[in-house]
Amino acid sequence: MRVDTAEQGSYLLVVEAQGKKDPDKPASWTYSLSYLHAKYRLPPVVVVVCQDRATATWAARHLEIGPRQWPSLTLRPLVLEPDNVPIVTSPDKVAHDLPMAVLSAVLHHRDPQIEAIPKAMAPVLRDLQEHDEDTADIYIELTRQGLEKTLAADLWRHLVAIDTSFFTSSLAEELRDEGRAEGRAEGKAQGVAESLLLVLAGRDIEVSEEARERISTCDDHDVLTTWLTRAMTAASTAEVFADVTE
């Protein structure tokens, strides 16, 4: 990815998501940097995105290539991880720096405040799509891909599902197709209920038959969405259900 700036000139970004330690990756990053510099004659930077701190600490290590007394090349990745990327929960801040908001959602998907990040992003992306549909679609899909296989993925999916009339990305179209097949209102409620049960199972929270029945038979989309949001951080189904009128 080429980045052009007024003050710092142009440079190249090599962005990689790293989910675990991989002893072969530093050599691969070094090769990529050398190749890009030789081909494009622009300064390259390797950016490594890590969702856990242990992997981030490993990725941030400097790698010196050459004899100990005279290294010829030093690899210094720019590592983005939960400790150096802020939690973005304000729509104003999202609008100011949308790429940072996407990174914030991806890197803080385990944080108790995670539900606030996608909620702040959704209205900004909806407004963006009205005048720059292609860019908005890119960020919607990047967020979905970044949250894939995390507990926050279902929350993002259903935030988009709430207003499919605005969103035109492939995710929104997928949700519209599901709504047509199952009946829009019933399909949405059923989808949220299924997502809620998946989140509870993924967090190893015990779900009694009574609780499962309560979730499966609830047809109130707003109530189910509230339960889904709570399930991200709750310690039990009692906390999920607390003080909600059905």
**pLDDT for 180-214, tens place per residue?**
455 455 566 777 888 888 788 877 889 999 999 99
Distances (CA, A) of 103 to 19, 36, 97, 121, 123: 14, 24, 10, 12, 17
Determine the pLDDT at residue 164: 46
| φ, ψ at 113 (rounded to 5°) | -90, 5
The arithmetic mean of pLDDT across residues 72-101, rounded, is 93
Domain segments of the chain as ranges:
2-80, 85-150, 177-246
Q: Average per-residue pLDDT in the chain? A: 83
Q: Is the pLDDT of residue 230 over 70?
A: yes
Is residue 69 within 8 Å of residue 81, measured between CB atoms? Answer: no
- The answer to whether residue 238 scores a pLDDT higher than 80 is yes
Which pLDDT band holds residue 222 (cuts at 50, 70, 90)? confident
**pLDDT (tens digit per residue) in 37-56:** 999 999 999 999 998 899 99
pLDDT in tens, 96-147: 999 899 999 989 988 888 888 988 998 898 888 888 887 888 788 778 878 8
Please check whether residue 171 is in contact with residue 136, taking contact to mean a CB–CB distance below 8 angstroms. Answer: no
